[in-house]
Structure 1
Amino acid sequence: MTFLDLILVFVGLAAAVLVAVALTGRVRARHTAAIAAALASLWVLTAVFDNVMIAAGLFDYGHDLLSGIYVGLAPIEDFAYPLGSALLLPAVWLLLTGRRRRGGERSPDGGAEPTGDGSSTADAGR
């Protein structure tokens, strides 16, 4: 098994979970922007720290298992793990925490519907 095979499984699973969550109506434009910002940050950190760790001799790869494309000293395969993480973690978070209101909008207080008189259905029993 090459690193590319492993990456295809990991990133494929992460993308499938995100698509499943998107089909439930829980992914919004702000979520997409946050995922993109997190991914960009993770890629920059990966580029810097992987190159430093490889240059310091902390680890090495079996080069016959790599694609041969590098960013500095870091193989391109290293950049797939932040991609998978940036897709999977927000998807699981949205799947486990979000409740939908009618029309697909998530209510800011975790699901209580506004009643029109300034209170919400969560306040009805008080």
Structure 2
Amino acid sequence: MTYALLIVPFALVTVVVTLATIRRPHFGRRMAASTAAAVVLGLLTAVFDSLMIAAGLFTYPGELISGVRIGLAPLEDFAYPVCAAFLVPAVFTLLAPRRAA
């Protein structure tokens, strides 16, 4: 199984749960904040994954990744922080009690 296929269930859950919050208050604001968080997490992933790969802490088998890299980190590495940036706020939104109208 490739890393890209491993990401699919996480991405699908993220999309479904995030879309489930579309009718909750402040959806647009939450998406803007999640996008900003995803950019920051992406930058941190690029820097720290590249450092860890350069230090030899781990490697990726070439046949299991797309071959596209940002720094030394394969593109697939960025899916998890991006999913987290959207999924975590969506879950908190769904778990929060609804306010009376």
Matched, 1:92 2:85: no
Distance in 2 between residues matched to 1:41 and 1:26, nearest whole Å: 24
Distance in 2 between residues matched to 1:13 and 1:66, nearest whole Å: 22
Unaligned runs of 5+ in 2: none
Aligned position for 1:117: none
Deviations, residues 25-65 of structure 1 (Å, cap 9, x unaligned) = 24422211211111111001001000000000000111111
Matched, 1:33 2:38: no
* SS of aligned partner of 1:21: coil
How many percent of aligned residue pairs carry the same amino acid? 49
Structure number with larger C-alpha Rg: 1
Distance in 1 between residues matched to 2:26 and 2:67, nearest whole Å: 35
Distance in 2 between residues matched to 1:20 and 1:100, nearest whole Å: 17
Matches within 5 A, 1:106-125: none
Distance in 2 between residues matched to 1:21 and 1:84, nearest whole Å: 15
Matches within 5 A, 1:1-126: 1-22=1-22, 24-102=23-101
Question: How far 1:21 sits from its partner (Å)?
Answer: 1.8
Alignment RMSD, CA only? 1.3
Distance in 1 between residues matched to 2:73 and 2:45, nearest whole Å: 8
Question: What one-letter code is carried by the residue in structure 2 that aligns with 1:9?
Answer: P
* SS of aligned partner of 1:12: helix
Question: What one-letter code is carried by the residue in structure 2 that aligns with 1:74?
Answer: A
Deviations, residues 87-122 of structure 1 (Å, cap 9, x unaligned) = 1101101001141443xxxxxxxxxxxxxxxxxxxx
**How many residues get paired?**
101
- Greater relative contact order: 1 or 2 (C-alpha under 8 angstroms, separation 6 or more)? 2
Structure with more of its chain in helix, by fraction: 2
